[in-house]
């Protein structure tokens, strides 16, 4: 039996309050007092008097005696210093109950008072301890008053009185309102869809609680964190075991505990990360990490119904657990069962945990436990728990109250932080192969037409990366935009000498001098620094940035810049241009063996298929790909922009490759 719930009445000194009725009472003989001797004066006894709540606040009170009416008795508390009570002016209280500490809140109205017990340690203080009785009577207190210099708490139903001695001012606790709570998240941005489970919820930033080793079963302590409460949702109304959601900064949490020489939080965080990275199946039924320890009220001896969840803000694992302080039968109510979620935010900066009480009618209530089940538990507790774990794991989510899927949906819906900005329309500058066609200079005033635009082109990728070709050289770099201003920084590039007539060096120098960008119809205009002139570019087609397929798949990797077309031939319109070194998954080959059908983004082709010329590709594992008939030839749509010169299907000669005069499509964008 769990000793937590045993009440051991102790009566150390019992005083008779009234004489037995119906008996003869002897009357002692009396003698008249001498006339010269004054009569003894009887001191009046102190009376119970009402006082304001302010008169008993911020004082350390020690429980000294108890008067009970049924049966009539008076008890003297043997160690008053072990049973204390302090009523704070903020309507919270703290108390010591022998070897345990407890706290909570209270409400006073005139001479009436009501205590709401909060977090309480659960240590076993010994058979002679009054800690259970003390906590129970605080919960039964109904009035407060003064008897001389003692505070008196009257119990409900006139059951008796608790008397407390004043031992001086209570230790001053800094007012938390003077501190600013900062968990890195504005609690007003926290939202959660509770469905039909709860009507209300409240998210609050809760100030850090110091690391404390005196709170069994484990130390406690949290940095500033976000806590979400549900009906009832006022902080002071929450009771242990009520539903609660935590959002805790991971780095600060670990640092707090390690500063006190305790690696438990760091180890639990690491264990949870490893679990979510490896995702073992089936999910273990023991040893699953649980944080924070403020919610761990014993040994988690039941962990069932495990499931990995991807939530809006990250990922985690949910399971049903219970916390037991000793061998206990598995029931639906005592110790209680909890839906437990443990996870991280997508950026790994926050620990997200959620606890919600659950039950199931498939388990008996605690008062329904049979002798047979108790015998099975006592004979082999591990085997008993294993059998119960198997039983609970076979239940469906609907066998639980609430349904586990409703709780899954609730934690999945959690959001916090500012709303993401609406997606911006794509910049017409990006992911286009821009071909240099004109140069206008102001000093001296002149305008030049570029004879071979295909040899001078630039691609502004949407992520801020830049690719360019300057005649026989290829290079990369980066760019930034600010309004209509542009800044270009060039990085790695080839340094081949392209000949005396080449514009390679000039093109590179002009790109680094770009200061503004604008559009004239479909043309791009780069304005140079110091109003030195402008560079004009025409749209050379959509740039396709493909990712490499997985190992072992049939693959085609471009050896030069290349059009991806809608069919196996230059008569088919191009979807866009890819740079040299782009790899595609190959899914077919043309009937003449000159073109590969490859996988492309569906944003370019609704079918997710395109075609590339074999003359400009290196292939792997393509021996067994199927032959795919050519699709019908269709007229290019307005959204399909034809590049100036199509590929040739002839295998290029070394001379042609070097000069790139007969293969314009192979002279476009450089290797990324």
The predicted-structure confidence for 458-477, as pLDDT tens digits, reads as follows 999 988 889 898 988 888 88
pLDDT of residue 646: 36
- Residue 59 clears pLDDT 80, i.e. is over it: yes
Domain 46-169 has CATH 2.40.128.270: yes
Candidate from 4-13, 238-247, 511-520, 600-609 with smallest mean pLDDT: 4-13
- The model's confidence at residue 215, banded by pLDDT at 50, 70 and 90, is low
- The model's confidence at residue 596, banded by pLDDT at 50, 70 and 90, is very high
Residue with tokens 């049903």: 320
pLDDT of residue 634: 65
Taking alpha carbons only, the member of 522, 548, 485, 498 closest to residue 642 is 522
pLDDT of residue 391: 95
SS (H, E, C) 412-437: HCCECCCCCCCCCCCCCCECEEEEEE
- The model's confidence at residue 216, banded by pLDDT at 50, 70 and 90, is low
- Residue 490 clears pLDDT 70, i.e. is over it: yes
Tell me the helix, strand and coil percentages in the chain, rounded to 5.
20, 35, 45
**For residue range 405-458, what is the model confidence (pLDDT) as tens digits?**
999 999 999 999 887 554 455 678 998 989 999 999 999 999 999 988 888 999
| Contact between 469 and 561 (Cβ < 8 Å) | yes
**For residue range 173-199, what is the model confidence (pLDDT) as tens digits?**
654 444 689 999 999 999 999 999 998
How many other CB atoms are there within 10 angstroms of residue 492's CB atom?
A: 8
H-helix segments, 221-336:
250-259, 264-278
Pairing of strands 609-613, 523-528: unpaired
Based on its alpha-carbon atoms, the radius of gyration of the chain, rounded to whole angstroms, reads 40
Q: Which long-range contacts (CB under 8 A, 24 or more apart) does 479-484 make?
A: 481/427, 481/429, 481/517, 484/516, 484/517, 484/518
pLDDT of residue 209: 92
Between 595 and 463, the more confident residue is: 595
**For residue range 101-112, what is the model confidence (pLDDT) as tens digits?**
888 899 999 999
Taking alpha carbons only, the member of 639, 657, 640 closest to residue 566 is 640
pLDDT of residue 581: 77
- Over residues 70-78, the mean pLDDT reads 90
- The model's confidence at residue 39, banded by pLDDT at 50, 70 and 90, is very low
Q: What count of residues does the chain have?
A: 672
| Contact between 286 and 384 (Cβ < 8 Å) | no
Q: If DSSP codes are grouped into helix, strand and coil, which group holds residue 36?
A: coil
| Contact between 431 and 461 (Cβ < 8 Å) | yes
- Over residues 70-94, the mean pLDDT reads 92
Question: Topology of 432-542 in CATH?
Answer: Lipocalin (2.40.128)
| Contact between 193 and 413 (Cβ < 8 Å) | yes
Quick one: CA dihedral 376, 377, 380, 386, positive or negative?
A: positive
CA 234, distance to chain mean position in Å, is 22
In 126-243, where do the E strands start and end?
141-147, 150-155, 160-169, 201-206, 209-212, 220-222, 225-230
* Separation between Cα atoms, residue 69 and residue 157, nearest integer Å: 10
- Between the CA of residue 236 and those of 91, 120, 174, 181, what are the distances in Å? 9, 15, 18, 18
| Contact between 601 and 662 (Cβ < 8 Å) | no
- Residue 70 clears pLDDT 60, i.e. is over it: yes
DSSP state of 633: P
pLDDT of residue 8: 34
Candidate from 119-123, 199-203, 439-443, 569-573 with smallest mean pLDDT: 119-123
User: What are the residue ranges of CATH 2.30.30.40 in the chain?
Assistant: 555-667
* Separation between Cα atoms, residue 661 and residue 336, nearest integer Å: 80
- The model's confidence at residue 571, banded by pLDDT at 50, 70 and 90, is confident
Q: If DSSP codes are grouped into helix, strand and coil, which group holds residue 321?
A: strand
* Separation between Cα atoms, residue 476 and residue 473, nearest integer Å: 10
- Over residues 355-368, the mean pLDDT reads 94
Q: Quote the tokens at residue 477.
A: 């770099």
Question: Topology of 555-667 in CATH?
Answer: SH3 type barrels. (2.30.30)
- Over residues 342-368, the mean pLDDT reads 94
- Give the DSSP H or E segment for 138: helix 131-140
DSSP state of 648: P
User: What are the residue ranges of CATH 2.40.128.270 in the chain?
Assistant: 46-169, 432-542
pLDDT of residue 605: 73
How many other CB atoms are there within 10 angstroms of residue 381's CB atom?
A: 14
Between 423 and 244, the more confident residue is: 244
- Tell me phi and psi for residue 626, to 5 degrees: -75, 155
């Amino acid at each position: 039996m769990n000793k937590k719930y045993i009440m051991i009445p102790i009566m150390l000194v019992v005083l008779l309050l009234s004489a037995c009725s119906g008996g003869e009472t002897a009357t002692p003989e009396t003698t008249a007092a001498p006339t010269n001797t004054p009569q003894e004066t009887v001191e009046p006894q102190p009376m119970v008097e009402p006082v304001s709540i302010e008169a008993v606040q911020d004082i350390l009170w020690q429980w000294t005696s108890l008067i009970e009416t049924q049966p009539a008795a008076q008890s003297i508390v043997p160690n008053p210093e072990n049973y204390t009570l302090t009523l704070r002016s903020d309507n919270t209280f703290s108390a010591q109950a022998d070897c345990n500490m407890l706290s909570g809140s209270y409400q006073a109205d005139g001479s009436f008072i009501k205590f709401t017990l909060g977090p309480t340690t659960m240590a076993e203080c010994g058979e002679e301890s009054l800690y259970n009785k003390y906590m129970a009577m605080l919960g039964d207190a109904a009035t407060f008053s003064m008897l001389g210099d003692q505070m008196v708490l009257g119990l409900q139903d006139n059951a008796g009185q608790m008397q407390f001695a004043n031992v001086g001012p209570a230790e001053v606790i800094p007012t938390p309102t003077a501190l600013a709570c900062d968990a890195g998240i504005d609690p007003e941005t926290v939202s959660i869809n509770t469905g039909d489970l709860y009507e209300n919820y409240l998210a609050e930033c809760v100030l850090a609680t110091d690391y404390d080793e005196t709170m069994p079963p484990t130390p406690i302590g949290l940095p500033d964190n976000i806590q979400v409460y549900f009906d009832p949702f006022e902080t002071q109304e929450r009771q242990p075991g009520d539903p609660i959601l935590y959002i805790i900064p991971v780095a600060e949490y670990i640092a707090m505990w390690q500063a006190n020489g305790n690696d438990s939080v760091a180890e639990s965080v690491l264990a949870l990360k490893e679990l979510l990275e490896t995702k073992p199946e089936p999910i273990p039924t023991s040893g699953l990490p649980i944080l924070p320890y403020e919610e761990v009220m014993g040994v988690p001896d039941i962990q069932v119904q495990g499931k990995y969840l991807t939530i809006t803000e990250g990922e985690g694992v949910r399971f049903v657990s219970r916390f037991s302080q000793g061998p206990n039968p598995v029931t639906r109510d005592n110790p209680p069962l909890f839906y437990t979620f443990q996870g991280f935010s997508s950026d790994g900066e926050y620990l997200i945990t959620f606890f919600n009480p659950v039950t199931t009618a498939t388990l008996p209530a605690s008062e329904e436990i049979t002798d047979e089940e108790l015998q099975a538990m006592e004979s082999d507790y591990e085997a008993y728990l294993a059998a119960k774990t198997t039983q609970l794991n076979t239940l469906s989510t609907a066998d639980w109250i609430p349904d586990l899927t409703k709780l899954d949906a609730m934690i999945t819906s959690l959001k916090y932080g500012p709303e993401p900005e609406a997606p911006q329309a794509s910049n017409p500058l990006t992911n286009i192969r821009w071909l240099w066609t004109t140069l206008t200079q102001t000093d001296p005033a002149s305008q030049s037409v570029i004879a071979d635009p295909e040899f001078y082109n630039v691609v502004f990728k949407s992520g801020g990366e830049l690719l360019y070709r300057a005649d026989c050289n290829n290079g990369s770099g980066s760019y930034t935009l600010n309004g209509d201003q542009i800044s270009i920084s060039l990085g790695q590039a080839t340094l081949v000498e392209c000949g005396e007539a080449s514009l390679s060096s000039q093109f590179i120098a002009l790109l680094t001098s770009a200061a503004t960008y604008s559009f004239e119809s479909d043309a791009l205009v780069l304005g140079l620094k110091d109003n030195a002139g402008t560079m004009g570019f025409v749209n050379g087609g959509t740039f396709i940035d493909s990712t490499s397929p997985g190992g072992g798949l049939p693959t085609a990797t471009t050896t030069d810049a290349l059009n991806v077309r809608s069919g196996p031939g230059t008569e088919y319109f191009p979807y866009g241009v890819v740079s040299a070194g782009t790899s595609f998954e190959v899914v077919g080959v043309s009937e003449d063996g000159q073109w590969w059908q490859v996988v492309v983004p569906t944003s370019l082709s609704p079918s997710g298929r395109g075609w590339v010329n074999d003359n400009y590709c290196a292939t792997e594992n393509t021996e067994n790909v199927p032959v795919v008939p050519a699709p019908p030839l269709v007229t290019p749509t307005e959204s399909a922009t034809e590049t100036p010169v199509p590929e040739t299907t002839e295998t290029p000669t070394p001379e042609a490759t070097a000069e790139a005069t007969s293969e314009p499509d192979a002279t476009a964008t450089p290797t990324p």
